[in-house]
């Protein structure tokens, strides 16, 4: 007949069980965190509401803007919710541009959360200016002429390049296809933009975007990078 285990053996067995359970729980927690991180890569943050709440958010982050009144558009469907003219997010734009407050708020978040970090990681210098080709424009979609572009609602901006703190520039048209750290920065940035904007188009998308990134907050979802 096998003698019953003594207290030392019982404690050892219990300790082993707890240790195994702790490892399993830790492993499960790590998998959960990894899954959440991967899911977040394709998540577009919910924009802050328009109006006073959005303007307050711009003020909190010291975005340089002024509210504007839009003139009568050539197409009555063209409309910007809470229109602003932005000259600087965290860094200046190459020239002031009209857009919705929602887009200004998201562009600022993108610049602070992705642009600067990737510029330092890939190029070793901060971005000191964002170059763009425009934002609000009352016009049709380039691929669907029966629909208005998100530019018509002030929800899209075309980014053409960046000025760095060492005085050099990164240009989408010239550097996207050219191997090297500038190209790596642009490709990393385009992928990161998919976490901030609902549509991201690059020179790889079509010929219309040979010289810029199209970033918008429209209802469609497309990460063309």
pLDDT at 194 (0 to 100): 97
The pTM (predicted TM-score) of the whole model is: 0.77
Q: What residues form DSSP beta bridges with 83?
A: 100
Of 19 and 52, the one with more pLDDT: 52
Run of H or E including 222? strand 222-224
State the average pLDDT over residues 59-63: 97
The answer on pLDDT for 225 being more than 90 is no
Domain ranges, ordered by start, for the chain = 1-41, 52-224
Residues 223 and 217: their CA atoms lie apart, in Å, by 12
What is the assigned CATH class of domain 52-224?
A: alpha beta
Per-residue pLDDT of 67-87, as tens digits, reads: 999 887 778 889 999 999 999
E-strand spans in 68-188? 83-88, 92-100, 127-134, 156-164, 169-171
């Amino acid at each position: 007949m096998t003698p019953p285990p003594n207290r030392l053996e019982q404690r050892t067995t219990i300790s082993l069980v707890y240790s195994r359970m702790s490892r399993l729980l830790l492993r499960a927690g790590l998998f959960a965190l990894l899954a959440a991180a991967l899911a977040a890569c394709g998540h577009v943050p919910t924009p802050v509401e328009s109006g006073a709440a959005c303007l307050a958010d711009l003020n909190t982050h010291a975005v340089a803007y002024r509210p504007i009144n839009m003139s009568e558009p050539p197409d009555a469907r063209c409309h910007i919710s809470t229109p602003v003219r932005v000259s600087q997010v965290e860094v200046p734009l190459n020239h002031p541009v009209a857009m919705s407050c929602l887009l200004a708020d998201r562009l600022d978040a993108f610049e602070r959360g992705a642009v600067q970090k990737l510029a330092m990681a890939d190029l070793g210098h901060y971005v000191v200016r964002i170059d763009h080709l425009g934002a609000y424009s009352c016009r049709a979609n380039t691929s669907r002429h029966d629909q208005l572009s998100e530019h018509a609602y002030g929800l899209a901006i075309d980014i053409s390049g960046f000025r760095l703190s060492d005085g050099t520039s990164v240009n989408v048209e010239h550097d996207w296809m050219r191997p090297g750290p500038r190209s790596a920065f642009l490709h990393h940035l385009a992928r990161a933009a998919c976490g901030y904007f609902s549509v991201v188009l690059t020179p790889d998308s079509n010929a219309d975007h040979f010289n810029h990134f199209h970033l918008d907050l429209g209802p469609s979802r497309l990460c063309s990078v």
